[in-house]
Amino acid sequence: MSNQAPLTEAILLVLLSLAEEPRHGYAIIKDVEQMTTGRVQMSTGTLFGALQRLLEQGWIQPVEEEDSPRGRRVYRLTPVGRRNLKHEFARMKDLTRIGDLRISRGRA
């Protein structure tokens, strides 16, 4: 994880959406919109680009459901994905702490 490039906002939001519960594509778009109070409205191109990258990295996986149609696959976070998400947030928290400290110390 330490060598991993910082995640893009789209990927981070998809991971956060799936961290709560397994979701399908449309539910992720709606959840991201709700989570960011409408600031981020993800396009399907962006969403599936992010999903593909996460699938390739093994951070998420499709939930095997027999009655689930192909156009409505449900995705869930894998243990690896959850661990990496936690690491990413630890990194961000650290960055925020340093940022706060530097900004408060700085002179205008």
Partner 1 sequence: MVHLYKLLLLLYPWAHREEFAEEMLSVFRQVHRDCASLGVKARIRFSLRETAGLIAGAFREHTKVRMENLRGGAMRMFRFPRWTVILLVLALLVVFAGINILATQTLSLVTAISPRWAFLQLLLAAALFVCVLGVIVFVLRAALGRTCIQRWTVAKTWPAQDVRNR
Residues that bind partner 1 (CB under 8 A): 24-26, 29, 41, 43-49, 51-52, 70-73
Which one, 4 or 52, has the nearer CB to partner 1? 52
Cβ 41 to partner 1 shortest distance, Å: 7
Cα–Cα distance for residue pair 23/28, rounded to 1 Å: 6
Cβ 55 to partner 1 shortest distance, Å: 9
Q: Which residues contact 26 (CB under 8 A, 6 or more apart)?
A: 72
Cβ 33 to partner 1 shortest distance, Å: 10
Task: Judge whether 13 and 36 are in contact, CB under 8 Å.
Answer: yes
Which one, 8 or 96, has the nearer CB to partner 1? 8
